[in-house]
Amino acid sequence: MDLKEKLVSSFMAFENKVDVNAPLHEIRNEAIKIFEKNGFPSKKEEAWKYTSLNSILKENYSVFPKQENALDYKDVKSYMLHEMDTYKIVFIDGKYSSHLSQTTHDGFDVCLMSSALNNPKYRLVIENYFNKIAGKDGLTSLNTAFSTEGAYIHIKKNKLVNKPIQILHFSTGSEEAVMLQPRNLVVVDENSHVQIIERHQSLTDNPVLTNSVTEIFANKRAIVDYYKLQNDNENASLIDHTFVNQKQESHCSVHTFSFGGKLVRNNLNFYQNGERIDSTLNGITIIGEKQHVDHNTLVHHIEPNCESHQDYKGIFADKSTGVFNGKVIVNKEAQKTNAFQSNNNILLSDKATINSKPQLEIFADDVKCSHGCTIGQLDESAMFYLRSRGIPEKEAKALLMYAFSNNVLDTVKIPEVKLRVNNIIAEKLGVNLGFDL
């Protein structure tokens, strides 16, 4: 039995554990039908042309982890932003860990998706937002069919969240191979502001496949800063789907830092439904060995007087592979749009590969839109200059690569996140760059 057959047959057992009279029953049933029809994507599809899932789908994954392995704070402290005070929603092998979490209902809700799905108190928000912008492809529908747990964040009108929110998923190796499917819903009401950091981390050498879906709704004049830290081990794979719906005068930024994992695919989709909206999509990828990272982005400009900015930097060593497939769509009605997209890459090895495909589809005539892509190696003249100033070759390379990615780091608004990313970059480059707050 292959993984698709196993998942479809497991759905019946899953349905027996949940309330078939719940509002999501029909949504789940429709979703599993879509997955059964479409299955997993293949390289025959244009959006997956450079990324094959074959190597990660052959494992015999446990779909329902049997038990949670208890973890102490000391076991996971290094993966948390412990330097600052935050709300925390922590999951271990797909199950909520209350003793590692800090949630709240004080003026806004930072809690569990399972609570929101089953509590009438949250029903109106679930009915208005859950699964409203998520895609209907096979993988997203698979997550919808099995959606029970994840983060539920609802920031009510005119609220400035007093500290960032961390969403942390840990896998412990309690199974020989495990598949996790977290589902996050973030709703930020009018004039509110929130900062969120998300991380998936395997603590085991056993294979882990995470198929994650996040829906973000930024209502009028809302501000959302979202950071994804991806630095997993060589047997952990992540397929991440994030859908962002913005209303009038909202500002939303998503920073994706991809430093590790066997295979990572980030699907990031922005929909601008209002005027004077600002969208920012930034990313840094530094990988080596046989790692594979694929960024697939979409920004859909639907109404006039909006902006979008995309800046993705990649550094690829050894036999690693990078993919950037970015699309900007500007509707006929979306006049006065400013849309900018840039993808720049450095190959440190003759065997490293990058496939880049920036795309513009413009149907309006009064716009400023640009896209660009560069692929190259380190500047030899700059290397010579640094070496002539007495800087060793290893440190000189590290300084050039750090400078290459630094403009993306300048847009990070949480100092502790910036420091953590700087230190991960230094570790990846094998040098001490002396970062501190």
* Confidence category of residue 371, pLDDT binned at 50, 70, 90: very high
* Confidence category of residue 387, pLDDT binned at 50, 70, 90: confident
Number of residues written out for the chain:
437
At residue 118, the pLDDT reads 85
pLDDT more than 90, % of the chain = 81
Please answer whether residues 278 and 306 qualify as being in contact, where contact means their C-beta atoms are separated by less than 8 angstroms. Answer: yes
pLDDT more than 70, % of the chain = 97
At residue 66, the pLDDT reads 75
Reply yes or no on whether the pLDDT at 67 is more than 70. no
pLDDT, mean over the chain:
93
Q: Per-residue pLDDT averaged across 204-225, rounded?
A: 97
107-130 pLDDT, tens per residue?
899 999 999 988 889 999 999 999
Reply yes or no on whether the pLDDT at 97 is more than 60. yes
Reply yes or no on whether the pLDDT at 405 is more than 60. yes
181-214 pLDDT, tens per residue?
999 999 999 999 999 999 999 999 999 999 999 9
At residue 110, the pLDDT reads 94
- Give the closest residue to 250 by CA, choosing from 226, 225, 280, 219: 219
Rounded Cα–Cα distance for residues 83 and 27 (Å): 41
* Confidence category of residue 302, pLDDT binned at 50, 70, 90: very high
Reply yes or no on whether the pLDDT at 220 is more than 70. yes
- Give the closest residue to 222 by CA, choosing from 202, 245, 239: 245
The pairing of strands 151-155 and 108-112 is: antiparallel
- Give the closest residue to 81 by CA, choosing from 244, 241, 195, 236: 195
Q: Where are the domains of the chain?
A: 3-429
At residue 21, the pLDDT reads 61
Given the structure tokens 């007495």, which residue do they identify? 390
Reply yes or no on whether the pLDDT at 69 is more than 90. no
Give Cβ neighbours of residue 121 (< 8 Å, ≥ 6 apart).
none
Given the structure tokens 């953590």, which residue do they identify? 420
User: Across the beta sheet with 223-231, what order do the strands follow?
Assistant: 95-96, 87-92, 165-171, 193-202, 223-231, 251-260, 278-287, 307-316, 338-347, 368-376
